[in-house]
Amino acid sequence: MKAGSLSDRQNTRECEVMKVGSLSDRQNTRECEVMKVGSLSDRQNTRECEVMKVGSLSDRQNTRECEVMKVGSLSDRQNTRECEVMKVGSLSDRQNTRECEVMKVGSLSDRQNTREALRTGRHDRTVGAEQFR
């Protein structure tokens, strides 16, 4: 670039310095692309961990292994391939893994459902039905 000091203008293939802002805000490598808006900490973005473009940094962290939903608080939005958090209800009611699927109705204890044992939303009704067989 034609403006600024030499240290601000250094640009290699591995680390391209953006043309706006200070040097620390403009560092950009192929592995870690800095977004063009917001502060540096909010804009860090690697292939493994993509930071969403809205909300605070903690709310926007998103990796391939753990996708953060775009609505609600961070704790409510944590979602990994192993444990998918449902989009409604409280976090404890919405935890859902491949091994233990939480049904969408009733309390958490009533809704736990594993491959080995299937339980209905109303456990007392199931027991009653078995008694009258």
Rounded CA-CA distance 108/90 in Å is 10
- At 3 the pLDDT is 53
Each residue's pLDDT tens digit, 74-109: 454 444 333 444 444 445 544 544 334 444 444 445
- At 92 the pLDDT is 53
DSSP state of 66: B
Each residue's pLDDT tens digit, 10-68: 444 334 444 444 455 445 443 344 444 444 454 444 333 444 444 444 544 443 334 43
SS3 (DSSP) at 28: coil
